[in-house]
């Protein structure tokens, strides 16, 4: 290598001086603290002005202090032992630790240091350190670790996926519920853990809504590894970068299996209660039913005995002679059969409600005719105020018949005070109210006592001495299940009115 000329030497010295000046200026202006330390006791030889921003000390105050005096006591030994918090890479040490500020509180610093050695003896002359504030990063890391612990301990199912709908993470609850504890779930997509119908809902509605609004919520079924469905309430969230781009998706699902099972059990219980109510109602109508059936049976016996008396000794018969009594017997038998069939349908039905379009006028007329014999026994007449142009209604026929039957029987019994009285009237009125029909049953009885009105629809609350208190409670439940309301009120002069609404089909 050729020696430098005097001119080249002066130029090199000038370049070194300029470089050192620039480095010194950068150190003075840097937001990172640049410091030099003595080996062994790590005393500050130099600190850049950033020390005031980071630690609150002035340059003059910190020069001469030992770094060991400022370390948090729990971090000193870690540094001396080169604990896992200290990393080494190509002569540079990186260390994250707590350092005491001038006001006494500790802040997190991340420092990168290297040793400067004597080129002849290789002895450490000093240590150069660049330090920056790591408080926000440390706090963020701690927050993330806390969130990760919450994520793993929650009973909700949490699924993360990329934009290709490939699963990137399942929390413990999701792995357990989907029976994927011992499976590499990162090979799976969302389509593998959501039933086909639910996945189509997610694609068609969930993802577009979440991308537009940030989240989407809905019920669908996940599926375990054995393909068994798991009903869940699912919330889909999109997570965006600082630039607004979607980075990944998360799905938070709450297992509804127990809730759905409880709802099914409650529905079955409600069906049993409704069935019991129908039996109770029919029990209260037992005497009326006996009367209803007794009349056609007696008529049949009368017709047949007439034939017997008239033709017992006849050697031959003409059809014309017996056609009328036989036809009447058949008609009467069919009437009795219809009554029995209607009662069997009414009392034994325990199936799901069959909501269909119904002719409300025909339904009400049928129930009124059915109660005619009961009305006669109570010296009451039933008047129906029905418009032939009434719209159809949506409901279950058995349930609506049960409600009307309960209200009519109560109204008929309310009119019978147990003493001789003039003919009274029970009125059934129907009129439109918006998209509903209002059906009212009015009686001319004594009315409802004021203390009874707030409790009249409670289960097992009865104003009758022998009543079970179930009819009105179940009637209200049936009406509300069909989207209507049922209420009671006293009329201004005498009697009471029970009204309920049903949805029309128009």
SS3 track for 326-356: HHHHHHHHHHHHHHHHHHHHHHHCCCCCCEE
Q: How far apart (Å, rounded) are the C-alpha atoms in residues 214 and 294? A: 71
- Torsion, Cα 413 416 422 427, to 10 degrees, reads -20
Residue 444: per-residue pLDDT: 87
24-38, 39-53, 125-139: which range is least confident on average?
24-38
Average pLDDT score, the chain: 79
Q: How far apart (Å, rounded) are the C-alpha atoms in residues 373 and 320? A: 34
Is residue 231 predicted with pLDDT exceeding 50?
Answer: yes
**Would you identify the CATH topology of the domain 353-506?**
Heat Shock Protein 90 (3.30.565)
The reply to whether 154-255 shares the fold of 24-140 is yes
Please, which contacts does 201-204 make with residues 24 or more away whose CB atoms are closer than 8 Å?
202/234, 202/236
pTM attached to this predicted model: 0.42
Is residue 12 predicted with pLDDT exceeding 50?
Answer: no
Q: How far apart (Å, rounded) are the C-alpha atoms in residues 498 and 479? A: 12
Query: Could you tell me which residue, 18 or 120, shows the higher pLDDT?
Result: 120
Q: What is the mean pLDDT of residues 465-482?
A: 70
Alpha-carbon Rg for the chain in angstroms: 45
Q: What is the mean pLDDT of residues 274-302?
A: 58
- Distance from the Cα of residue 315 to its chain's centroid: 81
Residue 325 and residue 395 in contact, taking contact as beta carbons nearer than 8 Å: no
Residue 366: per-residue pLDDT: 81
Is residue 504 predicted with pLDDT exceeding 90?
Answer: no
Parse the chain into domains and list their residue ranges.
24-140, 154-255, 262-351, 353-506
**DSSP H helices in 250-359:** 257-284, 286-311, 319-348
Residue 108: per-residue pLDDT: 92
- Torsion, Cα 368 382 443 391, to 10 degrees, reads 60
61-65, 168-172, 239-243, 309-313: which range is least confident on average?
309-313
Q: What is the mean pLDDT of residues 139-143?
A: 82
205-214, 287-296, 374-383, 438-447: which range is least confident on average?
287-296
3-state secondary structure at position 124: strand
- Non-local (6+) Cβ contacts of 226 within 8 A are 179
Residue 84: per-residue pLDDT: 47
Phi, psi (5° rounding) for residue 478?
-65, -45
Among left, alpha and beta (phi > 0; psi -120 to 50; other), residue 170 is: beta
69-78, 149-158, 277-286: which range is least confident on average?
277-286
Q: What is the CATH superfamily name and number for domain 24-140?
A: PAS domain (3.30.450.20)
Q: How far apart (Å, rounded) are the C-alpha atoms in residues 245 and 239? A: 8
For 154-255, give the CATH class. alpha beta
DSSP symbol at 158: E
**408 is written with which tokens?**
């009519």
Q: How far apart (Å, rounded) are the C-alpha atoms in residues 214 and 250? A: 11
Query: Could you tell me which residue, 130 or 334, shows the higher pLDDT?
Result: 130
Q: How far apart (Å, rounded) are the C-alpha atoms in residues 178 and 226? A: 9
Please report, in angstroms and rounded to a whole number, the separation of the first and last CA atoms in the chain: 104
- Non-local (6+) Cβ contacts of 135 within 8 A are 107, 108
Cα torsion angle, 318, 319, 322, 324, sign: negative
**402 is written with which tokens?**
């049960």
Residue 70 — pLDDT band, cuts 50, 70, 90?
Answer: very high
């Amino acid at each position: 290598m050729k020696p430098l000329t005097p001119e080249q030497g002066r130029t090199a010295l000038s370049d070194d001086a300029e470089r050192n000046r620039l480095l010194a200026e950068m150190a003075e202006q840097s937001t990172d603290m640049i410091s030099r330390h003595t080996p062994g006791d790590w005393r500050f030889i130099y600190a850049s002005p950033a020390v005031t921003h980071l630690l609150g000390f002035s340059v003059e105050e910190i020069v001469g202090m030992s770094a060991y005096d400022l370390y948090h006591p729990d971090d000193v030994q870690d540094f001396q032992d080169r604990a896992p918090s200290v990393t080494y890479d190509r002569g540079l040490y990186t260390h994250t630790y707590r350092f005491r500020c001038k006001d006494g509180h500790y802040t997190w610093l991340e420092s990168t240091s290297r040793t400067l050695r004597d080129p002849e003896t290789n002895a450490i002359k000093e240590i150069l350190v660049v330090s920056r504030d790591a408080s926000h990063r440390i706090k963020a890391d701690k927050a993330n670790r806390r969130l990760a612990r919450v994520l793993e301990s929650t009973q909700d199912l949490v699924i993360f996926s990329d934009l290709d709908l490939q699963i990137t993470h399942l929390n413990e609850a999701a792995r357990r519920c989907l029976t994927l504890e011992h499976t590499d779930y990162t090979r799976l997509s969302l389509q593998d853990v959501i039933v086909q119908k639910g996945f189509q809902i997610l694609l068609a509605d969930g993802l577009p809504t979440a991308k537009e609004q940030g989240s989407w919520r809905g019920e669908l079924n996940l599926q375990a590894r054995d393909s068994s469905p798991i009903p869940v309430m699912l919330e889909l969230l999109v997570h965006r970068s600082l630039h607004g781009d979607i980075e990944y998706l998360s799905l938070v699902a709450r297992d509804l299996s127990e809730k759905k099972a409880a709802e099914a059990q409650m529905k079955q219980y409600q069906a049993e209660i409704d069935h019991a109510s129908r039996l109770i109602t029919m029990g209260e109508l037992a005497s009326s039913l006996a009367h209803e059936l007794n009349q056609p049976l007696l008529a049949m016996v009368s017709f047949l005995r007439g034939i017997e008396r008239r033709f017992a000794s006849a050697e031959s018969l003409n059809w014309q002679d017996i056609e009328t009594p036989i036809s009447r017997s058949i008609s009467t038998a069919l009437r009795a059969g219809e009554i029995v069939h209607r009662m069997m349908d009414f009392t034994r039905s325990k199936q799901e409600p069959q909501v269909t379009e119904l002719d409300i006028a025909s339904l009400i007329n049928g129930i009124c005719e059915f109660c005619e014999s009961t009305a006669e026994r109570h010296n009451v007449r039933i008047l129906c105020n029905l418009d032939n142009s009434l719209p159809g209604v949506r409901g279950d026929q058995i349930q609506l018949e049960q409600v009307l039957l309960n209200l009519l029987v109560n109204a008929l019994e309310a009119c019978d005070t147990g003493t001789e009285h003039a003919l009274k009237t029970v009125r059934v009125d129907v009129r439109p109210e918006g998209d509903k029909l209002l059906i009212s049953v009015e009686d001319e009885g004594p009315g409802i006592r004021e203390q009874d009105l707030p409790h009249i629809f409670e289960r097992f609350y009865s104003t009758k001495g022998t009543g079970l208190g179930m009819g009105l409670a179940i009637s209200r439940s049936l009406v509300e299940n069909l989207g209507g309301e049922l209420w009671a009120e006293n009329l201004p002069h005498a009697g009471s009115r029970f009204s309920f609404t049903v949805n029309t089909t128009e």
